[in-house]
Amino acid sequence: MNADDLAHDSFVLERRYDAPPARVFAAYADLAARCSWGAPSPDEAIVYSEHDFRSGGRDVYRCGPRDDLRYHGSVRYEHIVEDRRIVLVERIESAGALLSLALITWDLEADGAGTRLRLTTQIASLVGASMIQGSRGGTRAAIDNLGDWLGRH
């Protein structure tokens, strides 16, 4: 890793779900629910070893291909407003090397009987732009999965 590997980006993803904000918030807050929709694809997995969803709390997990959970992540919840907002800082590493840090905000707004999600990610990658592309693609897939999960539950 060298100084040329540093990359920064911000991206915003928006979705509308046919579920009220309380249900969308609960689908994130409840670890079993999040495990059902959080992996970007059936070939990937997220396994949590710690879960403490509250302001100041922390989640710790491993993720990656189902047969190779090579990435280690931790999330610190900085600000939570029930049914409205989640602000967290996420750290990703692999083989003891820091890969990225991100500030992520979930804003939930009532939209008729549904919810409008605005998810903002500000990320610094220490391993180049491909980490940012992976984060964007994985987040996009996960929130699409969330919509499918809400439709089934």
Whether the predicted pLDDT of 4 surpasses 80: no
Measured in Å, how far apart are the chain's first and last C-alpha atoms?
44
The structural domains of the chain, with segments of one domain joined by +, span 3-152
Do residues 93 and 117 touch, judged by C-beta distance below 8 A? no
The pair of three-digit structure tokens given for residue 85, joined into one six-digit string? 């907002």
- CATH fold of 3-152 reads Alpha-D-Glucose-1,6-Bisphosphate; Chain A, domain 4 (3.30.530)
CB count within 10 Å of CB 41 equals: 13
Q: Work out the average pLDDT over 7-23.
A: 98
Q: Which pLDDT belongs to residue 3? A: 57
Q: Which pLDDT belongs to residue 2? A: 58
Helix (H, G, I), strand (E, B) or coil at 106: strand
Give the pLDDT confidence of 88-147 residue by residue, as tens digits.
999 999 999 999 999 999 999 999 999 999 999 999 999 999 999 999 999 999 999 999
Predicted TM-score (pTM) above 0.85: yes
Phi, psi of 20 (to 5 degrees): -70, 160
Helix (H, G, I), strand (E, B) or coil at 38: coil
58/112 Cα distance (integer angstroms): 33
Whether the predicted pLDDT of 81 surpasses 90: yes
Strand partners, 95: none
For the chain, what is the radius of gyration of the CA atoms?
Answer: 15
